[in-house]
Amino acid sequence: MTQRPRPLVAGNWKMNGLRDSLGEVSSICAAVARDGAGTAEIVICPPATLLMAAAAISEGSPVALGGQDCHNEPSGPYTGDISAEMLRDAGAAYVIVGHSERRSGYNEGNASVHEKAAAAFRAGLTAIVCVGETKAEREAGDALTVVGSQLAGSIPKISSAESIVIAYEPVWAIGSGLTPAPQDIADMHGFIRGRANQHLPGQGAQLRILYGGSVKPTNAAQLLGIKDVDGALVGGASLSSAEFMAIARIYR
């Protein structure tokens, strides 16, 4: 039997968090040091302004950090942007790319997400590539087609199962309290693994495929127990170390 990949529970703080919030990073590191994280790898993606301070706190801890987006170039005249190299320099090991809030709010298409994922690879970061359908696309029966073309367009050929993570985040489940039916999640994750096996031949089984969208301590056991779900990308509930760790501890 093929060995399952190590689960990953990642917190995406989005545009939340001032220096006061660094206490949550300390609490997560302390909880992991005290109880262990179970079998899951833990990643916190705070806003870029907090990365260096968070890195100082998490130094020596197995808790890893990630950025929430990156530019595809290593440096240059791109006012306001942050490169994958800069994130790495600040202490990140991961970067989220292609989150639906960036796809819709900043018109990021698959080609742009592909370039960002390649930039992450160049900088030695693991890219967490987000895919997911809108409510209208699901209702039209197009969820698999939409996610299939996002995968085809967004994953660089240079990737390996270790250098990339896929997060399936149905747009309509983000921040809404809604989640897809367990069978729909299982179908989508199985579909993603099959497609990944074509993009990264023979590596599909090792790829980590996270579910994201309204993951809470109350539904985490059910969601993380679904076939082909290798962890979670958590938004709102990751802002509280207690809630975030309650989700991560499902993997005890």
Per CB under 6 A, 215 contacts ligand 13P = yes
Question: Among residues 235, 244, 245, 247, which is the contact residue for ligand 13P, using CB under 6 A?
Answer: 235
Per CB under 6 A, 233 contacts ligand 13P = yes
Q: How far apart are CA 197 and CA 139, in angstroms?
A: 27
- Stretch in the footprint of ligand 13P (CB under 6 A) among 51-59, 135-143, 196-204, 208-216: 208-216
Amino acid identity for residue 229 in this structure: V
Count of residues for the chain? 252
Per CB under 6 A, 150 contacts ligand 13P = no
CB nearer to ligand 13P: pick between 21 and 203: 21
Q: How far apart are CA 211 and CA 193, in angstroms?
A: 13
Residues designated catalytic? 99, 169
Question: Among residues 91, 132, 156, 236, which is the contact residue for ligand 13P, using CB under 6 A?
Answer: 236
Q: How far apart are CA 228 and CA 82, in angstroms?
A: 33
Q: How far apart are CA 7 and CA 16, in angstroms?
A: 25
Per CB under 6 A, 174 contacts ligand 13P = yes
Per CB under 6 A, 170 contacts ligand 13P = no
CB nearer to ligand 13P: pick between 93 and 205: 93
Site for ligand 13P in 105-144 (CB under 6 A): none
Question: Among residues 213, 230, 231, 250, which is the contact residue for ligand 13P, using CB under 6 A?
Answer: 213
Environment class of 218 (CB within 10 Å of its CB; exposed 0-12, middle 13-18, buried 19+): exposed
Per CB under 6 A, 171 contacts ligand 13P = no
CB nearer to ligand 13P: pick between 12 and 159: 12
Q: Give the residue nearest to ligand 13P (CB).
A: 235
Q: How far apart are CA 251 and CA 155, in angstroms?
A: 28
Site for ligand 13P in 44-83 (CB under 6 A): none
- Yes or no: say if 151 and 195 are a contact pair by the CB < 8 Å rule: yes
Q: How far apart are CA 105 and CA 243, in angstroms?
A: 28
Q: How far apart are CA 209 and CA 4, in angstroms?
A: 11
Phi then psi for residue 161, to 5 deg, are: -60, -20
Return residues touching ligand 13P (CB under 6 A): 12, 99, 169, 174-175, 212-215, 233-237
